[in-house]
Amino acid sequence: MNQWQETMTQIDLFEADAPLRFERILIYPYPDLRRLWVRIWLPARMEDEAPNVELIVYNPDGSENNSLVLLAQTDTRLDNTFHLKAPVLPDQIYRVEALLSVGLDRKAQPVDHRSFDLTLTFRDPEAGEPGFGFGNT
């Protein structure tokens, strides 16, 4: 074994003891206010089943606007466009619920649940404006 091989350290890409949970969710409304740019961060885990992600957006009156379901996600960084149903109400507060579960049948086990408010106004990520969500938004 040469000196270079002796000094190499192993870098684990997966964290065996990291809890399965939402690490971060960040949402930016597009300028048309009919679409939302959604980014979700999950921990890198190897031994678990791939989790399911459900995102539900509620109108200001509490009725459901739309939902997005992503089954058996193996990526740790999810990037999606979420479409709002018409009519949209600019500058109004919408409620967002994010659900993380494991399993593909009716016995899917919930693992994490987050909810937060989103004001339907354009935010420009390129200008450094804050998005909506949690975890270093």
CA 97 – CA 101 distance, rounded (Å)? 13
Q: pLDDT value at position 9? A: 53
For residue 54, how far is the Cα from the chain centroid? Answer: 9
Range of the domain at 54: 18-134
25 domain residue, yes or no: yes
Residue 5 banded pLDDT, cuts 50, 70, 90: low
| Partners of residue 68 on adjacent β-strands | 55
Residue 48 banded pLDDT, cuts 50, 70, 90: low
Burial of 47 (0-12, 13-18, 19+ CB in 10 A): exposed
CA 79 – CA 110 distance, rounded (Å)? 21
Mean per-residue pLDDT, 89-97: 98
10 domain residue, yes or no: no
36 domain residue, yes or no: yes
Work out the end-to-end distance of the chain between its first and last CA atoms, rounded to an integer number of angstroms: 47
Q: For 15-40, give one letter per residue: b (16+ CB within 10 A) or e.
A: eeeeeeebbebbbbbeeeeeebbbbb
127 domain residue, yes or no: yes
pLDDT one-digit tens code per residue, 9-42: 544 454 556 789 999 999 999 999 999 999 999 9
Tokens of 83: 């479409």
Looking up residue 24, the CATH number of its domain turns out to be 2.60.40.10
**CA-based nearest residue to 92, from 67, 63, 113, 69:** 63
| Number of structural domains the chain divides into | 1
pTM: 0.83
Mean per-residue pLDDT, 106-119: 94
107 domain residue, yes or no: yes
95 domain residue, yes or no: yes
8 domain residue, yes or no: no
2 domain residue, yes or no: no
